[in-house]
Amino acid sequence: MVRWLPISLLLMLAPILNLSRIDASETDLVHLVGGSGAIDEFDTIVLLPAREDIPTRLIIGDLRGFLHVFEQRPDAFEEVWTSEYFESAIGGLFVADINEDDLEELIVFTQKGRLHYLNLETYSTQWSNPPNEYEQITSMIIENVDEDEQPELIFCADGRLIIYDTHHQFEEWGSDQTNMDATDLLVGDVDGDGADEIVLNTGYVFDARFHDLEWQSPEPFGQRMGLLDLDNDGIVELIGEFNGRFIKIFDVDLRREKSTDP
């Protein structure tokens, strides 16, 4: 079971795990966008596959607060559109159908707390959250964690974990804790009880549906996290990457770092 594990981390772990097969489409994508530098892993870059009328597109959100759309040409990419100024650094980009109309939208969040939905054909802004709703957003993922069909925006803003209804655009739930400031999030059943958790890289584990704080780890989980069952017990381990390089493995069900003694 491989979920949400970054390709570079997977490649790094491949010799250890004896992974003989890594999804061909993923490695093709890596090669498409530049050898060993997997540009599609960047949080502020999305790659849209070619369709009959539009070539492969890259959308890049930059530190200066602009979005850029690039289209693939025979040997390179070429910029075809630049956004208005989004008032602070682009923090993350996602492509998802957030309103169940079978069309995907581009979802953008900015460092200073703005959320925007853009039409992926015209790049026009369809919706933005109020300017002063949040001061800072440090991380976001989009996952369906409740009974309604559309996915939720799950993010850390002003130190709180927030679940935001994508379709009706309101805060469904926010944590009481205000000191979490996670820069990476994931959703998965990390303790094998059949229900998903939301994991913050700052060490917090919440029930995804009912929002109870299940565990507060005494140590953080690294700057980047992935999930993989490494010991074939049917429960994924949480793999944390520190300083872009060093790996620690956690057994969240046992609430400790995994023992690596042979």
Q: How far apart are CA 22 and CA 225, in angstroms?
A: 18
The residues with which 221 forms a beta bridge, in sequence order, are none
- Nearest residue (CB) to Ca ion, 29 versus 161: 161
**Helix residue ranges per DSSP H, the chain:** 7-17, 24-32
SS3 119: strand
Q: Minimum distance from CB of 141 to Ca ion (Å)?
A: 13
- Nearest residue (CB) to Ca ion, 184 versus 189: 189
Q: What residue ranges bind Ca ion (CB under 5 A)?
A: 97, 99, 101, 103, 105, 144, 146, 148, 189, 191, 193, 195, 197, 229, 231, 233, 235
Q: Minimum distance from CB of 222 to Ca ion (Å)?
A: 18
- Nearest residue (CB) to Ca ion, 56 versus 99: 99
- Nearest residue (CB) to Ca ion, 38 versus 236: 236
Q: Is the dihedral of CA 170, 119, 154, 144 positive or negative?
A: positive
| CA 54 from centre of chain | 25
Q: Minimum distance from CB of 129 to Ca ion (Å)?
A: 17
SS3 24: helix
Q: Minimum distance from CB of 235 to Ca ion (Å)?
A: 4
- Nearest residue (CB) to Ca ion, 63 versus 254: 254
Q: Minimum distance from CB of 3 to Ca ion (Å)?
A: 13
Return the ∠ at Cα 173 (arms to 202 and 190), rounded to 5°.
45
The sheet carrying 67-72 orders its strands as: 45-48, 57-61, 67-72, 77-82
